[in-house]
Amino acid sequence: MAEEQRIRRSGIDSSIRTAAVWQVVAASTRRQQEELGRALRVLDLGGGSGGFAVPLAKAGHDVLVVEPSPDALASLSRRAGEAGVSERVHGRQGDSGTLTDLVEEPVDLVCCHGVLEYVDDPGATIGALRDVLAPRGVVSLLVAQRLAAVLSRALAGQFDAARTALVSADGRWGEDDPLPRRFDVEQIHERLVTSGLTPVSTQGVRVFTDLVPSASLDSEADRASLLALEQAVAERSAAAFLGRLGAGLHVLAVRAD
């Protein structure tokens, strides 16, 4: 619980779980804003209580959060109010199947983080995201990655579960696995291209974080060192092979037409 409270107190750019993704998203939004000469229209599908939506709104962008949970939307409203960005954050109850009804004009950026693992049809969801994007619009996609589950199960001595995660079609390690599916880089790239989106940036995130014992993160200095290591892996193409072991896979893709 104490560790969870420390994570919540951390900013999006300094939390071990979000910093690498935010760094890429923030840089992309700055480039888009320079090209368009205006703030962005953003859709955050499954954005929950606004972990990304509120910082994007604080940067001046207009954010629509489409989220199935009314409790999460209530938390989003409170969070946006506390941050002073209520006028730029708009919560709507729905999911990928209702986007065409909820998105009134094409958006410049879609955040879809931790959603594809749970939807009935990931390909259809990616297609729905593409349909609401403006030309040259960007999708930020974050999904759970298969090899991280293989490694974590093996290190825990659960070798049969590790093998199951490696060879199963959905990347699950067994019936008790809490995630409905995990992905490989090639699977995500293929789905994006099939939907008319071109991957332009791919990184593995949380390569070490989920494997480090909590006892090794007793101090702020320890957490800062781990964050620096994670960012070093994310920023260096020479370490791309390590990215395949990350608990998360973060991909930016662009709609070309």
The CATH number of the domain holding residue 133 is 3.40.50.150
The residue range of the domain holding 98 is: 2-145+183-255
What is the pTM for the complete model shown? 0.88
The reply to whether 118 falls in a domain is yes
Given this model, what pLDDT does residue 69 score?
A: 96
The reply to whether 187 falls in a domain is yes
The reply to whether 110 falls in a domain is yes
14: Cβ contacts below 8 Å, ≥ 6 apart: 227
How far apart (Å, rounded) are the C-alpha atoms in residues 133 and 139?
Answer: 8
pLDDT in tens, the chain (257 residues): 333 333 344 588 777 778 889 999 999 999 999 999 999 999 999 999 999 999 999 999 999 999 999 999 999 999 999 999 999 999 999 999 999 899 999 999 999 999 999 999 999 999 999 999 999 999 999 999 999 999 899 988 999 999 999 999 999 999 999 999 999 999 999 999 999 999 999 988 887 777 666 666 677 787 777 777 777 766 665 456 677 888 899 999 999 87
Per the structure, how many domains does the chain have? Answer: 1
89: Cβ contacts below 8 Å, ≥ 6 apart: 50, 53, 54, 57, 63, 65, 76, 77, 80
The reply to whether 167 falls in a domain is no
For the chain, what's the residue count? 257
